[in-house]
Amino acid sequence: MSTTFTLDTSTSRAHPVPEPVRRLTVPAIQGRKVDGATAEPIVMLTAYTARMAQLLDTHCDMLLVGDSLGQVIYGLDSTVPVSLEMMCAHGAAVRRGSYQSVVVVDMPFGSYEASPQQAFESAARIMKETGCAAVKLEGGEVMAGTIEFLSARGIPVCAHVGLTPQAVNALGGYRARGRDDAERDKILADSKAVTDAGAFAIVIEGVMEPIAREITRSVAIPTIGIGASPACDGQVLVAEDMLGMFERVPRFVKRFDDMAGRISAAAERYASAVRERSFPADEQLYGVKRGS
Question: Residues marked as binding for 3-methyl-2-oxobutanoate?
Answer: 67-68, 106, 136
Strand partners of residue 13: 8
Q: State whether residue 20 is helix, strand or coil.
A: coil
User: Are 176 and 163 contacting, i.e. CB atoms less than 8 angstroms apart?
Assistant: yes
| Binding-site residue positions for Mg(2+) | 67, 106, 138
Q: Which residues contact 68 (CB under 8 A, 6 or more apart)?
A: 46, 79, 106, 165, 238
Q: How far apart are CA 275 and CA 166, in angstroms?
A: 46
Could you tell me which residues come within 8 angstroms of residue 117 by beta carbon, excluding any fewer than 6 positions away?
Answer: 149
Alpha carbons 115 and 133: distance in angstroms, whole number: 22
Residues contributing to the annotated binding site: 67-68, 106, 136, 138
Give yes or no for a contact between 203 and 214, defined as CB atoms under 8 angstroms apart. Answer: no
CA separation for the pair 63, 212 (Å, rounded): 21
Question: For 64, phi and psi rounded to 5 degrees?
Answer: -105, 120
CA 75 to chain centroid, in Å, comes to 17
Q: Which of 148, 205, 214, 240 is catalytic?
A: 205
What's the rounded Cα separation, in Å, for the pair 212 and 227?
Answer: 9
Dist CA 19 CA 133 (whole Å): 18
- Rounded distance between C-alpha atoms, residue 290 and residue 117, angstroms: 66
Any catalytic annotation for residue 205?
yes
Euclidean distance between CA atoms 225 and 207, whole angstroms:
9
Closest residue by Cα to residue 61 from 95, 20, 28: 28
Q: Active-site residues: which are they?
A: 205
